[in-house]
Amino acid sequence: MAKKVSDALKRSLEKAAARQGKQKYSLRLYVAGMTPRSTEAIANVTAVCEAHLADRYELEIIDIYQQPVLAKGEQIIAAPTLIKRLPLPLRRLIGNMSQKDRILVGLDLRPKK
């Protein structure tokens, strides 16, 4: 009986791990115009997403000058800001996104050290 339970638990954990690896990510990157810092943030986030979330992410880039209502609704106080909306928990990262490890931790793709 104990072997059956442990086998069932093992299969359940394997299925949960597989689902975790297939989750879709919903991301929003708020930038302030097409400044060098904004362009760098877009390139950095896109590179991380392509390397670690290929075909599993939706990245929406929002210029706070062109869509100030969205920025106000999200209470954006600095740009660039990356918001991970899904999967939960919601996370916010601020800066030019040049620290790849920090982005991976913020997206829950790598544990904190």
Residue 86 CB contacts under 8 Å (≥ 6 apart), including other chains: 23, 24, 25, 26
Q: DSSP 3-state assignment of 84?
A: strand
pLDDT in tens, 38-52: 999 999 999 999 999
The residue behind tokens 């660039």 is 80
pTM of the model: 0.78
Q: Does the pLDDT at position 75 exceed 50?
A: yes
For the chain, list the domains and their CATH numbers.
Answer: 24-106 (3.40.30.10)
Neighbouring C-beta atoms of residue 85, cutoff 10 Å: 14
Q: How confident is the model at residue 22 (pLDDT cuts 50, 70, 90)?
A: confident
pLDDT in tens, 83-93: 999 999 999 99
- Tell me what percent of the residues of the chain surpass a pLDDT of 90: 73
